[in-house]
Amino acid sequence: MNSKISKGIQIKGTETTVEEFWRWAYSDLLSNTNRGILAEFLVGYALGLTSDPRIEWDKADFVYIENLIEVKSSAYIQSWKQRQPSKIVFNIPKARAWDTATGLMSSESKRNSDCYIFCVYTDQDKSNYDVLDVKRWDFYVVSTSYLNEHFTEQKTISLSTINKFCHPVNYSRLKAEIESVLY
């Protein structure tokens, strides 16, 4: 079957469709997993990279003009009950990378991208949130070389630290900011 699945396709042997499965499985866009995939989609869409299906375990989330891009997402509010908003922290560890094109794992642990896009869903009021409104997201674009120079062995980085050296951009400026960091 073609990897570009039509939403109206029947799941064989049932009376249901792929669209109904997607609605059931992925409708909670505030959950960490789904919000992270949405953030990847938003970045990919801004760069014109969403015509091919997402690759789950590649060495980076996107290749943009021969540059590897890693997308990270976080939010103050979560799907579960909270006593207070979450602290915004992103994982940035060095790691071995799986290359889906070659089917090989790298031997060296490193940060495998050329830049990171830290996507923060900014709403803090769970009674009126809308994850699908890009005006409610901030995007921080940071070169991996900067992280390697200033946070050599660090495995995580907080938003409060990122704010000391980087300012957020809104969605309409995301592509331009990525290009300015990469080139």
DSSP 133-159: -GGGEEEEEEEHHHHHHHSTT-SEEEH
Q: What is residue 176's three-state secondary structure?
A: helix
Residue 59 is predicted with a pLDDT of 87
Q: Which domain holds residue 170?
A: 30-182
Q: Is residue 49 part of a domain?
A: yes
Report the Cα 93 to chain-centroid distance in Å.
15
| CA-atom Rg of the chain in angstroms | 18
- Do the domain assignments include residue 18? no
pLDDT at residue 4, as a whole number: 53
Q: Dihedrals φ, ψ of 4, to 5°?
A: -90, 95
In a domain, 25, yes or no: no
pLDDT (0 to 100) of residue 7: 62
Is 22 a domain residue?
no
* Assigned domain for 12 exists: no
pLDDT in tens, the chain (183 residues): 444 556 678 999 999 999 999 999 999 999 999 999 999 999 999 999 999 989 888 889 999 999 999 999 999 999 999 999 999 999 999 999 888 888 999 999 999 999 999 999 999 999 999 999 999 999 999 999 999 999 999 999 999 999 999 999 999 999 999 999 999
Could you tell me the two tokens for 3? 């990897």
Tell me the pTM.
0.91
Give me the pLDDT at residue 54, please. 92
* Residue type for position 5: I
The verdict on residue 19 lying in a domain is no
CA distance 147 to 116: 9
In this structure, is residue 7 part of a structural domain? no
Residue 21 lies in a domain: no
Closest to 123 measured CA to CA, from 144, 102, 108, 138: 138
Residues in the chain: 183
Residue 100's pLDDT is 84
The structural domain count of the chain equals 1
The two tokens of residue 92 are 């940035």
